[in-house]
Structure formats: C-alpha cells, structure tokens
Amino acid sequence: MHPYATDSDERIKVLLGIAFVSLLASWGLHSLFLALNFTPHWLLDVPSFAGFYYMFLKWFDKNLWRKSFFQKIGLIKVPYIAGNWDGYINSSYDEHKSQISATIQIKQTWTEIRITLETDNSISRSETASIITKTPDMALISYEYINEPKSQATSSMQIHRGTARHEYQIVDTYEIFNGGYYTGRERGTFGSLYFKREHK
C-alpha cells in the first residue's frame, strides 16, 4: 500500500487526541508503579509515552478509524471504501461500444491505500492517491495508476500509466463508485468507470 492525501483536518485532531490519551496512559502507568512502591527510573517515562503513542496510533490506523462511531460524531470524514467492487468500463479504445467487465479491490487503512482494478486483459495498481471529503453528499477519490497487460492481451496493449477519478456516494442500499479515467500519451485513451456494491 501507499500513503494518500486528504483535505480533511482529521489527521491533526486525531494525532493530538492520541498524544493526549498516550500521556494519560503513561501517567496512569507511572501512578500504578508508585502505588506498588516501585519508583521507575525517569528514563522510563519518555519511552512509556512513546510506546503508548505508537501502540494507539497503530490500533487506530488499522482498526478503530473505520468504526461507524467516529463517522457519526464527525471526527472521521474519510470514507472506508476497502473491499471488492464489481462493475464495468467504457473505453474510447472501441469508441465506447461495449461494457468491459471489471473488478476493483481496495485495501485501506487510515493513512494508506491500494486500489487494484482488473479486467480479463489487464490489471492496474494505484501508485498515488487522494481523497477529497469537502464536497456535498460524496467523496472524490483520485489516483494515478500503472496498467500491465496480461499474457493473453492483444499485442497493441502495452504497459502504460493513467489517472482515474471516482465519485463515492451511498444511494439507497448501495455504495456507488463511478467516474472516469484517461491514460498517458503511450496509450491515449479515456473512458468511464462504474462500480457498486451493497452498503453494509
């Protein structure tokens, strides 16, 4: 996975919150030692704070951030989009005449992401990404990717780079992940993307 940027100010708030909780935990551990008539060396205080901070940060980054509670109170605005998506692509390669079946697999933590799009003939993997949250009723996910053709692909398909931009929104009982893409000068194509899944 790779880091992604966001316009949400949640990272500042969360890091300050984790620092505060780590300080309380470090103070609590120190108080426990004193209650047990054990006086730790002062050099243990700073490492204990750093240890708690690292532990809480990793816990939040991997698991806690995607709990709905943090979304409901407005602390976390970045959507949790990890998982599998089914959909299709329309491409200028064939003048948008056909729908190309495709799947997207997304791996995501609070600070990192990897978006992998696969068709019968090629596979694309994101290299950089950003998530914009300050838009009404949706989030915008943009990423640059590298596409590699599979062995059975036509000889005209070559490794190339491109950019994709998705709008993420929840409509009724579905999560919608649609948008468009364009490739670099090596390929020179563009098209639309449409993916969805049931909202849990």
Mark whether 147 and 169 lie in a shared domain. yes
Mark whether 10 and 46 lie in a shared domain. yes
Neighbours of 65 (CB within 10 A): 20
In a domain, 151, yes or no: yes
Could you read off the pLDDT of 46-71 as tens digits, one per residue? 568 888 999 999 999 999 999 989 99
Burial of 172 (0-12, 13-18, 19+ CB in 10 A): exposed
Quickly tell me which residue has 């799009």 as its tokens.
Answer: 117
Could you read off the pLDDT of 152-186 as tens digits, one per residue? 767 667 788 999 999 999 998 999 999 999 987 76
Residue 102, domain CATH: 2.40.128
Considering 18, 41, 72, which residue would you say is the last residue of a domain?
Answer: 72
| Whole-number Å distance between alpha carbons of 13 and 126 | 27
| Whole-number Å distance between alpha carbons of 102 and 129 | 20
What band does 42 get if pLDDT is binned at 50, 70 and 90?
Answer: low
User: Is 151 or 122 the better-scoring residue by pLDDT?
Assistant: 122
Domain tally, the chain = 2
Mark whether 57 and 105 lie in a shared domain. no
